[in-house]
Amino acid sequence: MTVVTTDAATPSQRLAALGLTLPAVPQPAGAYVPARRHGELVWTAGQLPLVDGVLAETGPVGAVADGGSVPAERATDLARICALNALAAAAAVAGGLDALTGVVKVVGFVASVPAFTGQPAVINGASDLFVAVFGDAGRHARSAVGVSVLPLNAPVEVELVVTVS
C-alpha cells in the first residue's frame, strides 16, 4: 500500500491518488442500517468484501484439505475492500468522505481455519488503507479476531468507528 504523504490533501484526494473510489453503500442483509451517526462519531455495521453486491471471495482463510480456502494475501486484499465499503457507509451518513476526520476503532473478523494465526496481518489491509486515506488521523485502536464462519461464508468482515466534523 502506498501512503500518500501530502499533508494538505483531503481524504477524497488521497483516495483518488491511490486510484480508488468509494463504492455504492452495500445494502444491509437484515434489519439494521449500514452506518449510524451519533454526535461526532459514526459507527458502521460489519462490512463484507462485496463488489457490486457480490462477495469477491468465499470460504475460510488458511489451508484446508480440499483446497477451498482463501490465501492470507488475498484475504488482506479483501479486508481492503471491506474498508472501502465501511468508508462508503460512514461517508453516506456524515455528508461525504471529506466530512470524516479520523478513524477511532477498527474491528476485523477473519473466518479462518483453526491453525491460522495471521488475523492481524489480514486486517492490516483495512488499517493500511485508513492510514493512506487519513494520514496520522487514520491511526486507530483495533481488534483482529479469528472466527469459524462469517455471514454468507465471507472470509473477512470489518467494522469502523470514525470521527466527523
The model's pLDDT over 39-55, given as tens digits with 9 standing for 90+, comes to 999 999 999 999 999 99
Cell numbers describing residue 123: 486486517
- DSSP string for residues in 125-145: HHHHHHHHHHGGGG--EEEEE
* 5: in domain: no
Contacts of 140 (CB under 8 A, 6+ apart): 102, 103, 104, 105, 106, 127, 130
Question: 118: how many CB neighbours lie within 10 A of its CB?
Answer: 18
pLDDT for the residue numbered 65? 66
Burial pattern 5-17, b for ≥16 Cβ within 10 A else e, equals eeeeeebbebbee
* 146: in domain: yes
Residue 88: closest CA among 165, 35, 48: 35
* 32: in domain: no
* 87: in domain: yes
* 21: in domain: no
H or E element that contains 77? helix 72-94
**3-state secondary structure (DSSP) of residue 35:** strand
The enclosing domain of 121 has a CATH number of 3.30.1330.40
> Residue 50: which domain range?
37-164
pLDDT-flagged residues of the chain (< 70): 1-8, 65-66
Q: Which amino acid is at 142?
A: R
* 102: in domain: yes
* 151: in domain: yes
* 155: in domain: yes
DSSP bridge partners of 157 = 109
pLDDT for the residue numbered 8? 54
Total of domains in the chain: 1
Cell numbers describing residue 109: 473478523
